[in-house]
Amino acid sequence: MTQSLAPDVVVSRPTDSQPAPSGPDDERRIRRIAFGHRLSHWDVKLSPYLYISPFFILFAITGLFPLIYTGVVSLYDWHIIGGQGDFVGLKNFEWVLGQEKFWIALRNSFSIFLLSAIPQIILALIIAAILDQNLKAKTFWRMGVLVPYVVAPVAVALIFSNMFGDQYGLINNILGQIGLDPIGWHSQVVPSHLAIATMVNFRWTGYNALIFLAAMQAIPRDYYEAAAIDGASRIRQFFSITIPSLRPTLIFVIITSTIGGLQIFDEPRMYDSTGQGGASAQWMTITMYIYNQGFGVAGGGQFGHAAAAAWLLFLVIVIVGLINLLATRAIASTGTRSGK
C-alpha cells in the first residue's frame, strides 16, 4: 500500500505549483521516494532470482561440481588410494566400452528399469484412481500406500532376498508344494530381474500413486459430472478425462522413474551378500558396475574406469530422458488440446 502511494505523490508535484514549505525536507522526501521506487523496481526484477538462488548455488556445489570433477577423473589413471596418476585421455572410456561386463550391466539396468517402471506406473494409476473415490477413512488408505516407501531399501532387500532364495526360499517352497519346479531366482537372468523389480515396485508404487492422486484431486469435478450425464462409464471417464488431465504429472513421474530406474543400486546390491551381481553378472546394474570398479572387489579401485562408466551412464540417462519426454508429450497431447 505505501509503495503504491509513492508514484501519486511524484505525479502530483508538478501540478501543484505552490513552493514547498521547507526545501531540504521536501527534497529529501522526493529523493527517498525515488530511491524506493528504484528499489521496488530492482525488487521485482531481482528478488525472484535471489530467492531461488540457494538451490542453484547448492546444486552447483553438490551436483554440478561432482559431475564435472568426475569428468576430469575419467581422463586420468586414478586409483582409489594412490590418487591422481597420468593423463590418459579417452583411454578409460575406450576400456569401459570394450568390457563385456559393461554391456551386460547396461542390459540389466534397462531390463530391470522396464520391468519395474511400466507395471509401477500402471499400478500407481489404478491405485490412485481407487483412492480418488469416496472412501471411508480416506487418510488411512492414502497414508497406507506410502508405508512401503518408508521402509529402508536395505530392509526390503533383505526380506525379499530371503523370500527369493533358490533352495530354501519361501516362494520356491510354495512352488514345490504345488508340484512346480523351483525357479532360479539368483541363477537365471530374467527371474533375478523380476525379483529385483518386485522390490522396486513394492517401494515406489505407493509413492507414485500419491503423486497421481494429488494431480487427480486437481481435476475439476464438473468434467466428471458432465461425462456422467452424457452416460460415460467410469472406465471411459478414467481414459478420457483422468489420463489426459494428468499429462504434466505423467511426464514428471516417467522422467523421475527413468532416472531412478537406470540408477538402481540398493536392491540389486543387497540381493546377495557379496554384492557382485551374480557369478555371471546376471543382475549387476550399471551403478553396481561403477561401484565395483571404484570401490568394490572386482575392479580394484580404478576410479578412472569408474568415472568413465559414470559419465557414460549420465549420457545414457540424458538420451533416454529426452526420448521419454518426446514420447510422453506426443502421446499425452493427442488426448487433449487444453494447452497451458
Partner 1 sequence: MKISRRTTAVAIAGATAFALVATGCSSAAPGETDPNEKITLTVATFNDFGYSDELLAEYTKEHPNVTVKQTKAKTSDDARANYFTKLGAGSGLADVEAVEIDWFAELLQYSDKLTDLSSDDVKDRWLDWKANAATDADGRLIAYGTDIGPQAICYRSDLFKAAGLPTDRAEVATLLEGDWDHYFEVGQGFVAKSDAAWFDSVGSIMQGKLNQEVETLESKDGEIIAGTNPVVEAAYKDILAQSPDLSAHLSQWSEDWYAAFSNGAYATMLCPSWMLGIIEGEAEGVEGWDIADVYPNGGGNWGGSYLTVPAQGAHPEAAKEFAAWLTAPEQQLKAFVKTGNFPSQVALQDAPELLEVTRPFFNDAPVGELMAGRAAAVPADAPFKGVKYFQVMTALQNSLTRVDVDKTQNAKESWAQFLKDLDALK
Chain residues in the site for partner 1 (CB under 8 A): 79-83, 99-101, 161-162, 165-169, 184, 186-188, 272-276, 278-280, 282, 295-301
The CB-of-281 to partner 1 minimum distance in angstroms stands at: 9
- Cα(282)–Cα(280) distance, integer angstroms: 5
Nearer to partner 1, 3 or 187 (CB): 187
Cell of 229: 450425464
Nearer to partner 1, 119 or 301 (CB): 301
Are 111 and 277 in contact, with CB atoms under 8 Å apart?
no
Nearer to partner 1, 169 or 304 (CB): 169
The DSSP 8-state label assigned to residue 271 in this structure reads S
Nearer to partner 1, 204 or 271 (CB): 271
The CB-of-273 to partner 1 minimum distance in angstroms stands at: 5
Name which of 89, 62, 54 is nearest 74 in CA terms.
89
- Cα(160)–Cα(164) distance, integer angstroms: 6
The CB-of-199 to partner 1 minimum distance in angstroms stands at: 14
The CB-of-311 to partner 1 minimum distance in angstroms stands at: 19
The CB-of-166 to partner 1 minimum distance in angstroms stands at: 6
Backbone phi, psi, residue 85, to 5°: -115, -140
Cell of 113: 528399469
Cell of 7: 508514484
The CB-of-75 to partner 1 minimum distance in angstroms stands at: 18
Are 288 and 275 in contact, with CB atoms under 8 Å apart?
yes
**Residues paired with residue 340 on neighbouring β-strands, in sequence order:** none
Nearer to partner 1, 167 or 177 (CB): 167
Nearer to partner 1, 189 or 255 (CB): 189
- Cα(83)–Cα(303) distance, integer angstroms: 9
